[in-house]
């Protein structure tokens, strides 16, 4: 099963429409989407607008791979579950977010080997085999380093 998630803040119809087209072309592959308040309702994949935390976590756990926006919550959940994640950053110019922080965040997590990135939802189909074979690199939590960074910053205030 492929799980598509857009998060809990904004709809992401461009992503959902692209995944629905792929699902239509691949009827043997199960797709489930969390679509928020999007105007577009998928015709070729199951969907829910919202999922509670337990349902969301269970769906991630049951998924073969994830496709979604470049939100930190989804990235964290995918890394915690050790699931391959293909992210499509929302674009400010397309009215999908208040700025382009998802573009820079996507690049940061891609460069760390944690996720794969499709710059455009139309690229998802050609990247699915790569995502299936992708093994996300675990994050290195550096609490001591972060504490030092915070201490250094506070000493300059």
**Boundaries of every domain in the chain:** 2-155
pTM listed for this prediction: 0.86
Can you identify the CATH homologous superfamily of domain 2-155? Answer: Glycogen Phosphorylase B; (3.40.50.2000)
Are 108 and 75 a contacting pair, CB within 8 Å?
no
Which residues make Cβ contacts (< 8 Å) with residue 92, sequence separation at least 6?
98, 99, 100
Which of 10 and 19 is assigned the larger pLDDT? 19
The DSSP annotation for 58-108 comes to HHHHH-SEEEE---HHHHHHHHHHT--EEE----GGGTSSSSSHHHHHHHH
95-137 pLDDT, tens digit per residue, is 767 777 788 889 999 999 999 999 999 999 999 999 999 999 9
CA separation for the pair 98, 53 (Å, rounded): 25
Sheet holding 31-34, edge to edge: 46-48, 31-34, 2-5, 65-68, 85-87, 116-117
At residue 9 the predicted structure's pLDDT band, cuts being 50, 70 and 90, is confident
CA proximity to 35, closest of 59, 12, 57, 65: 12
């Amino acid at each position: 099963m492929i799980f598509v998630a857009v998060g809990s803040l904004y709809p992401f119809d461009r992503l959902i429409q692209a995944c629905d087209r792929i699902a239509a072309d691949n009827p043997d592959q199960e797709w489930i989407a969390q679509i928020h308040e999007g105007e577009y309702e998928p015709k070729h994949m199951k969907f829910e607008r919202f999922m509670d935390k337990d349902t969301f976590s269970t769906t991630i756990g049951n998924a073969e791979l994830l496709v979604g926006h470049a939100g930190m919550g989804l990235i964290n959940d995918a890394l915690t579950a050790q699931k391959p994640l293909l992210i499509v950053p929302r674009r400010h110019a397309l009215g999908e977010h208040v700025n382009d922080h998802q573009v820079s965040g996507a690049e940061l997590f891609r460069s760390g080997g944690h996720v794969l990135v499709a710059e455009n939802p139309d690229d998802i189909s050609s990247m699915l085999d790569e995502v299936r074979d992708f093994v996300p690199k675990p994050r290195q939590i550096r609490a001591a380093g972060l504490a030092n960074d915070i201490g250094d910053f506070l000493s300059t205030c």
